[in-house]
Amino acid sequence: MAFQDGSLMRLSVDGENIFHETKVSISGDTDFNDVATKDTDGTVSTPGQKSWSLSVEGVMSNDDPGTKHDVASIVGLWNTQALVEIMVTDAVTGHIEYSGSAYIQNWSKDAENDESVTFSYSLKGTGSLTVGAVA
């Protein structure tokens, strides 16, 4: 059995990786419509709207990010409320990859004494999340 290597999994935003990313998470959620009447045995739940989101963590750097997104460019996308294309993949043939459109929902930059400066941000998906396989 082959397990996926987390160090290979990357988020790209508009085709560019995130500079010094340390963690990426992707999640989906379903709202449920609940009905309970005098004629039901408990609550009857039916699936409603679906949503998906991503979160990213990383370490700040003053190095030139080259062709990768750094915190400044992510804040710029948030500031302009730009719709971006995302992909989460480890680029290994046959492995699962996720893609779709999203907005930068929030971001933060954190500085603790005697620690590296870190950043985090979340993206809110819009429309369908596509699940495929790396070709």
Rounded Cα gap, residues 99 and 50, in angstroms: 15
Task: Name the more confident of 20 and 4.
Answer: 20
Q: What is the pLDDT of residue 3?
A: 81
Per-residue pLDDT averaged across 12-30, rounded? 94
* Cα radius of gyration (the chain): 18
- What digits encode the pLDDT tens for the residues 72-81? 999 999 999 9
Planar angle of CA 41, 42, 45, nearest 5 degrees: 110
Q: What is the pLDDT of residue 84?
A: 98
CA quadruple 92, 24, 88, 98: dihedral positive or negative? positive
Task: Give the model's confidence band at 24: pLDDT under 50 very low, under 70 low, under 90 confident, else very high.
Answer: very high
Q: Which domains does the chain have, with CATH numbers?
A: 10-133 (2.40.30.200)
Q: How many CA atoms lie within 13 A of 42 on its CB side?
A: 2
Task: Give the model's confidence band at 1: pLDDT under 50 very low, under 70 low, under 90 confident, else very high.
Answer: low
For 50, the enclosing helix (H) or strand (E) is strand 44-59
Task: Name the more confident of 40 and 1.
Answer: 40
| Cβ atoms 122, 106 nearer than 8 A | yes
Kindly tell me if the per-residue pLDDT of 116 is higher than 60: yes
Rounded Cα gap, residues 97 and 99, in angstroms: 7
